[in-house]
A and B are shown apart, each in its own frame.
Chain A
């Protein structure tokens, strides 16, 4: 059986370093298998967050050879094994230990976004009618597994640390899912501009490129939301109208 070397970041909030582990690899293995094998055989206390190992829960996000991805869906045969495979935690969130980061900020952000508010039911029995075509677009956004890889790669968070003013691609997708939900009657456009910081996004599409669910984040979620903000706040006719009506 072949052996490969994994260069894994070990450390905590105070700092850390890469450490090399050689382990046996076999057909079909993914990075998470190798990490587990190393944990079971060489480094019991290696911290790694994972759940389903099937690409459905979005827990095992990491940076593999510098690229953000899910460890459970990155196969070793897609990586050059003649040199060490580096595995490190996401950079946009504070390290907890080893491969685990503190992603609690994301949970706080979500709470700030106005919740779903449906229109009155369409039928006397309290149910609604929606066409599949109207549902399709939002279903794309609802595929999100909250792995936060899009947040990890977004330079507004990663390089500029705008965590206070900017909610990040995941939560534009979340907001888009609410705003475009056929039943939703809430209005989040003002918040998008003032509280959610959508203006910071300069549509570099990095988020869309790392999404393991292939959600077209930039084109289908963020740009339409930006258009709503522009329509509301920057359209010259609307502005003029506002001057006269005082609205």
Chain B
């Protein structure tokens, strides 16, 4: 029996409505093409709302020594030079315009005393660079894009999920998915598709990511034949909540450290001073006094070691905990309350600068952060790896399929700097929208393969056939998260990762036997069952790439290969689907940085 589905036709279909998706949709709509947006949740709820610290752009409002050149060099250094240099260049050059544009659309950033956009310090950024709104910058950004976007002519399909991309002779033709509120299937025909689905955090147990982050775009692109890149690089944010258990993983913004918060172990020691990497020595304070002055805007001071890159801080915290110097619930202490020794009205100052953090700890952990230290530990936060794209157009290796934001790879290399994600969404969301619209104008409508849609519908409904006889999809998901956390987490080792591959293979068999009950309307179990394939595909890709890279670099730390290797500095890893459906991995030489940009990097060292 043929599956029933509704059909919609667009020039450009954007999958995902966070910062990148909305920015892409706005751009495509302004180019005059018909735009549809598929949104896994309600509009305005995407993971972008959780971004706290700010958006990185070399506006040079607070420190006029800043420029795109410094931002470019910071981004490349943070990414350990595996970045797509072209993306890093475009990002550094275009981020200031993208931020100013938000202001023209109604965003209200915090101000400098002369009335311009205020910027704050953040890890790995040489100068205060993050435009922000207290600690709710992501909310400001998504609301601005949402409120501007709804008047741009885009059509939004809320609470819909794409299950497969449709192809016509290797070119994109549309997408097939379902509407959660009603449980109906939908086919979207489109000349170009932009993936803006975010990350993969839900493949791990401790995560700052929302339920939506199941690697949908990564897996959809992979199954459509696109190449994935840098999949071994999963960012563990150093500071997530650790207690109580139900809130474990919720993000504690880096802004706490930017405002003067310090990390201490159970002995009261600021352990970050004990391990400062050589390539950051020149830029890092070697005493507490200098670090404090930096956070208070002293331009002659160097930044405190708490503001080193996230990969490094996360590992240091991990080391303290493993060495038995952790806090009572398995983290370390993050103390902002101490600034009362330095500032009058410190409590009010903290509440003003970090209102959501104050609120979050007060409400969820009964802790007043203006009085006592927080307990924090690493949490799965961000995926550097993703769909391999052209730096200028954001098109993947599948014609007509674009990707922007977290689902795309390249800008961040082996490690992302805080604040570079929100700017990534804006810069490359815009570019993806622009070039997708152009692709749609230049190319006609592709043919739809009905059999592919039928097949996807049939597969989606199978868990109902198995009903209560099948295994609970939640049990399978929880086990995957627990095993990935244990075996492919912050510190990795080959034998454990080999085990992880076996776990994934075993869970695939169990996923094929998942069963659910009830009807199709807003069925949480059904949705969980359909997410499993995506989670398993990204888990396998992460593990394969992590095994292959036999060195420690950026977010990848190998216990069995603890050093950085000059040989591995030359390679990115590509994951793609082989002819027999098996997952393949190959090395691809890192593109050479042009001489003038090399010089920029050298000057900033």
**A-to-B contact residues, CB < 8 Å:** 12, 26-30, 33, 39-40, 44-59, 73, 75, 96-98, 100, 102-104, 107, 110-111, 115-116, 118, 126-132, 135, 138-139, 142-146, 178, 181, 183-184
A102-B181, A139-B133 known; A132 vs B364 contact (CB < 8 Å)? no
Residues A33 and B246 in contact, CB atoms below 8 Å apart: yes
Residues A110 and B243 in contact, CB atoms below 8 Å apart: no
| Contact partners of B150 in chain A: CB under 8 A | 107, 110-111
User: Which of B36-44, B169-177, B392-400, B449-457 interfaces with chain A?
Assistant: B36-44
A39-B211 Cα distance, complex, nearest whole Å:
14
| Contact partners of A128 in chain B: CB under 8 A | 103, 115
Residues B110 and A30 in contact, CB atoms below 8 Å apart: no
Q: Which B180-226 residues have C-beta < 8 A from chain A?
A: 181, 210-212
A28-B246, A54-B251, A73-B364 known; A139 vs B42 contact (CB < 8 Å)? no
Residues A56 and B111 in contact, CB atoms below 8 Å apart: no
**Residues 140-183 of chain B: 1 if any A CB is under 8 Å from the residue's CB, otherwise 0?**
10010001101100000010000000000000000000000100
Residues B363 and A44 in contact, CB atoms below 8 Å apart: no
Residues B108 and A47 in contact, CB atoms below 8 Å apart: no
User: Which of B21-29, B422-430, B513-521 interfaces with chain A?
Assistant: B513-521
Contacts A44-B472, A45-B523 known; list 13 others, CB within 8 Å: A28-B247, A47-B524, A51-B49, A51-B212, A52-B210, A54-B247, A58-B45, A102-B181, A111-B150, A132-B110, A135-B111, A142-B133, A181-B106
Q: Which residue, of A28, A102, A139, A178, has the highest number of chain B Cβ atoms within 10 A?
A: A28
Smallest CB separation, B147 vs chain A (Å): 7
| Contact partners of A96 in chain B: CB under 8 A | 181, 521-522
Q: Which B95-113 residues have C-beta < 8 A from chain A?
A: 100, 103-106, 108, 110-111
A116-B359 Cα distance, complex, nearest whole Å:
30
Q: Which residue of B lies closest to A29 (CB)?
A: B246
**Residues 332-361 of chain B: 1 if any A CB is under 8 Å from the residue's CB, otherwise 0?**
000000000000000000000000100110
Smallest CB separation, A37 vs chain B (Å): 10
B250 sits at the interface (CB 8 A): yes
A28-B365, A115-B147 known; A97 vs B522 contact (CB < 8 Å)? yes
Residues B360 and A54 in contact, CB atoms below 8 Å apart: yes
Residues B151 and A115 in contact, CB atoms below 8 Å apart: yes
A111-B151, A138-B108 known; A52 vs B115 contact (CB < 8 Å)? no
Residues B246 and A52 in contact, CB atoms below 8 Å apart: no
Residues B115 and A45 in contact, CB atoms below 8 Å apart: no
Smallest CB separation, A182 vs chain B (Å): 8
| Contact partners of A29 in chain B: CB under 8 A | 244, 246
Residues B114 and A45 in contact, CB atoms below 8 Å apart: no
B364 CB contact (under 8 Å) in A28, A52, A98: A28
B544 sits at the interface (CB 8 A): no
A104-B158 Cα distance, complex, nearest whole Å:
9
Q: Which residue of B lies closest to A108 (CB)?
A: B150
B43 CB contact (under 8 Å) in A107, A126, A127: A107
B136 sits at the interface (CB 8 A): yes
Closest 6 pairs between A and B when the two form their complex, measured CB to CB: A28-B244, A45-B518, A44-B525, A129-B115, A47-B522, A116-B106
Residues B516 and A44 in contact, CB atoms below 8 Å apart: yes
Q: Which residue, of A26, A58, A97, A144, has the highest number of chain B Cβ atoms within 10 A?
A: A97
Residues B472 and A127 in contact, CB atoms below 8 Å apart: no
| Contact partners of A57 in chain B: CB under 8 A | 41, 45, 49-50, 210
Residues A110 and B42 in contact, CB atoms below 8 Å apart: no
Residues B108 and A139 in contact, CB atoms below 8 Å apart: yes
| Contact partners of B140 in chain A: CB under 8 A | 142
| Contact partners of B151 in chain A: CB under 8 A | 111, 115
Residues A118 and B104 in contact, CB atoms below 8 Å apart: yes
Q: Which B114-154 residues have C-beta < 8 A from chain A?
A: 114-116, 133-134, 136, 139-140, 143, 147-148, 150-151
Residues A116 and B147 in contact, CB atoms below 8 Å apart: yes
Residues A51 and B45 in contact, CB atoms below 8 Å apart: yes
Main secondary structure of the interface of A (DSSP, over half): loop
Smallest CB separation, B339 vs chain A (Å): 20
B506 sits at the interface (CB 8 A): no
| Contact partners of B579 in chain A: CB under 8 A | none
Q: Which residue of A lies closest to B150 (CB)?
A: A111
Residues A54 and B250 in contact, CB atoms below 8 Å apart: yes
B580 sits at the interface (CB 8 A): no
Smallest CB separation, B516 vs chain A (Å): 6
A46-B528 Cα distance, complex, nearest whole Å:
12
Q: List 20 A-B contacts (CB under 8 A).
A: A12-B521, A28-B244, A29-B246, A44-B473, A44-B523, A45-B517, A45-B526, A53-B250, A55-B356, A55-B363, A57-B41, A75-B363, A104-B158, A107-B43, A115-B148, A116-B147, A143-B136, A145-B139, A181-B108, A183-B106
B47 sits at the interface (CB 8 A): yes
B474 sits at the interface (CB 8 A): yes
A26-B245, A44-B474, A45-B526 known; A52 vs B147 contact (CB < 8 Å)? no
Residues B44 and A51 in contact, CB atoms below 8 Å apart: no
Residues A52 and B243 in contact, CB atoms below 8 Å apart: no
A115-B106 Cα distance, complex, nearest whole Å:
9
A104-B50 Cα distance, complex, nearest whole Å:
22
Residues B49 and A56 in contact, CB atoms below 8 Å apart: yes
Q: Which residue of B lies closest to A182 (CB)?
A: B108
Q: Which residue of A lies closest to B526 (CB)?
A: A45
Smallest CB separation, A14 vs chain B (Å): 11
A45 CB contact (under 8 Å) in B110, B246, B516: B516
Residues A52 and B110 in contact, CB atoms below 8 Å apart: no
A132-B117 Cα distance, complex, nearest whole Å:
10
Q: Which residue of B lies closest to A58 (CB)?
A: B45
A107-B43, A135-B110 known; A52 vs B516 contact (CB < 8 Å)? no
| Contact partners of A27 in chain B: CB under 8 A | 244-245
A178-B518 Cα distance, complex, nearest whole Å:
44
B211 CB contact (under 8 Å) in A46, A50, A73, A111: A50
Residues B245 and A56 in contact, CB atoms below 8 Å apart: no
| Contact partners of B250 in chain A: CB under 8 A | 53-54
| Contact partners of A46 in chain B: CB under 8 A | 524
| Contact partners of A145 in chain B: CB under 8 A | 49, 139
A39-B524, A97-B521 known; A28 vs B41 contact (CB < 8 Å)? no
Smallest CB separation, A112 vs chain B (Å): 10
Residues A28 and B245 in contact, CB atoms below 8 Å apart: yes
A132-B210 Cα distance, complex, nearest whole Å:
32
A111-B151, A142-B108 known; A45 vs B525 contact (CB < 8 Å)? yes
A47-B521, A55-B363 known; A127 vs B103 contact (CB < 8 Å)? yes
